[in-house]
Structure 1
Amino acid sequence: MEKDKALVLATERYGSAESWKYVSEDGVMERRRNLREGESTGNSFFGVFKSIFLPQGYPESVSKDYLQYQFWDTVQAFCSSLSGTLATQASLKGVGVGNQDATVAAATITWLLKDGAGMLGRIIFAWHKGSKLDSEAKTWRLVADVLNDVAMFMMILAPHFPACFTTIICIAGIFLSIVGVAGGATRAALTCHQAHRDNMADISAKDGSQETLVNLAALLISLVLIPFVTDNPQFTLSLFFLFTIFHLFANYKAVRSVVMETFSEARLSIVMQQYLTHGQILSPREANQREPVFLEFRKAVPIKLGVRLDKVVQSSEELNLALKNNNMPFLIGVRNGCICVCLRPDASVCDEIRAMCQAVCLSNMMSPPTSRESAAQQQSQPHFQGHWEMVHESHTVMDRLFNPFIKGVEASGWDMRRTLLDWDEWRVEWKAKSN
């Protein structure tokens, strides 16, 4: 009871996990820990575990979806590591380990061809799809894991087709190289989303520690499995399919648990479509739940952002048409069934969002009515003579709707400081419309 009456000089806390107080008693300052109700002092093990495997300041320093994502990511990493053991064992057998007739040179050449094919695949994939990995991080995260399982399956089957072994291994190497690029890049994008205190390096380092611990556990289990799967292809395939099912399920749950507050093309299209149809603003969680993650997001009318000027207009008359009713730093036009958006260098993030919203609105006007639309709804839709009339009408619609829309998305928790819209790098300065 005497200690409770001591004078409290100061209090301090370490994140939300621990709090301490400094008390003065008989002229001596003493530091004491504040215990929550039902809490004991024997939590040192959990504290050490948390400091080793979780980012500093957890949970305040990371996004709210961090723990759920990391749980499923850990499960998928564990299953993938076990599948990798089966694939490696089959590959070593295929190159001649344990076969007295096999030569070191032949095995080395096969392995070099596999690695060489993988290097070429890595370069080509990064060139062709590198710009998509930020805006479609969830989709490519899943694609990478599917390709990883396909590659491992090919490596397990390869020894049973000795005449095509090198070809199969090289194709598997290409798939694994794509997995390396897509998996690493999308992990970086998700880490950027999780880092709420500019602590990407810490989150990435702790993610590496978590993965290392999981791989160590998988290694120990693999040591037990190897004697059972050696020279037993049926059991090997059975285990592989079991691990693959858990691996893909855990990956799907992991990307579904991510709630990104920044607009990608898919998420902004979903939110804008809902607003145009029902006047409702979806929250980040609601939009992320509707976002397609397994199949590539496709629209009825393709939208191309940041194109060259000649993709929008091809004459001075068309330029005047594009500028009609338009005082925004972007031009929108329709070319070959695609909606093309041309951006000026001084366009802000808000301008980019408005351009994408207008493109979605224009896409709605161009899309044929669905079978679920009633006859009255179809009759109420305006009929246009040409695509420039639709463009002009879309300007009018945006002038009326965009300000309420942007206030609604900000109030719903969307991050308006940046976007993940897939803009190309073309920027154009155009002259004002001649009178």
Structure 2
Amino acid sequence: MHFVIIGGDAAGMSAASRARRNAPDMKITVLEMTQDISYSACSMPYVLADEEGDMDALIMRTPAVFREKHGIDLRLGHKVEDIDPEARRVSGRDSEGKNFEVFFDKLLIATGSAASMPLIPGHDLPHVFVLKSLDDGRRVKAFIEEKRVKKAAIIGAGYIGLEMCEALTERGITVQLIRNAPEILPWLAPELSLVVEKALGEKGILINHGCTTERIEAHGSRLDICCTEACFDAEMVLMAIGVRPSGFLAKNAGLELGAAGAIAVNRSLQTSHPDIYAAGDCADAYHVVTGEKVWIPMALTANRAGWAVADHITGKPVRMEGVAGTGVFKIFDVEVARTGLTVQDARKAGFDPVEVVVKSYSRAKTVAGSRPVWVQMVGDRQSGRLLGVSMVGKDNEARRINAAAVALHARMRVADFSTADLAYAPPFSPVWDPLLVAANQLLKKL
């Protein structure tokens, strides 16, 4: 069997490594269009925050390890441009412009996602960046250091945009955050969103709400970022308005697309062609709360899906239960965590959602280090099911959210969760953990 993989990051290389363990004699070929594989893209803002940080330190395994230790035919600089499902062939060009074609028995599409870039005037100026690939990180780092940047604008306030507010501030760069929505993180309750916004303001981040960027103009080494009613100056711009699934190869090959234009897959990660699989940020998934298809790109999902594809093609039964959309990030000393559905999500999915927002404390009040923590919890009025939780605070909320994520995977009711035996000792939690406080309050409303 010849197993061909398009894409050499999380899902692709996880699948290649697992397939080699499962089937030592299998022929495995990986086609990666860049010169980088198997790296931690999520860590790039933290490397950029460190003047001595090295982007190449984020590479988990070098190409030599896969080639020499695992016997994988890893081809860098090979951009696949076409998939022919009937001929079982992929084709494209290498870094020297030469045509290539590779035939497969089983194919995995692991092309990930691409940074969204609005096609406004000035989007292609050399001062304007995205932060998606390792090369993007290298370019941003080199520009900051060569130009000695002192003022930057970030357009967008998702995970990367907010993490980069901290990273650039750590480098002594003044940051202007430009957001077309009227609030930070609109999926959070206002009480939680205000905590995040206050943290940004305390660190000198200048926030511009409801500002749609119309154009970017260059004036020598300076840029003007012009919105509907005002212009802001900066020396560099980071576009951080999100990512989109890279499903164009699948679409051109006649494969079905699913949620948000991602490649549609079943619970075994097969596309509409049974011998072609998709995994990682380019593929959709099932939501554990709704059972419906969603597109939620996350690193753990990509790695787990890569393993699942390798298991399936080597004869092991696979059924991916799905995702809860669990995510965490930090902004200076504030931790933001979420899992499951918001009220808006729940309503769209046909639930009758009820929500509470509570303020509690991370530890017993008498213990040093106890900090306020805000919990937003959503349940379904009809079934009593727990639907989603968000948390904001400054003391280990990124770990606390895992209890709620497990509850969602177990399809627990709020009443069940409220009786969970969560750990208590004064240095770690009040007697009533903040999650239990929220669950008890939600029960009253349900």
Measured against the shorter chain, the TM-score band is under 0.3
Q: Relative contact order: is structure 1 or structure 2 higher (C-alpha 8 Å, sep ≥ 6)?
A: 1
State which structure, 1 or 2, has the greater radius of gyration over its C-alpha atoms.
1
- Which protein has the bigger helix share? 1
TM-score under structure 2 normalisation? 0.22
TM-score under structure 1 normalisation? 0.23
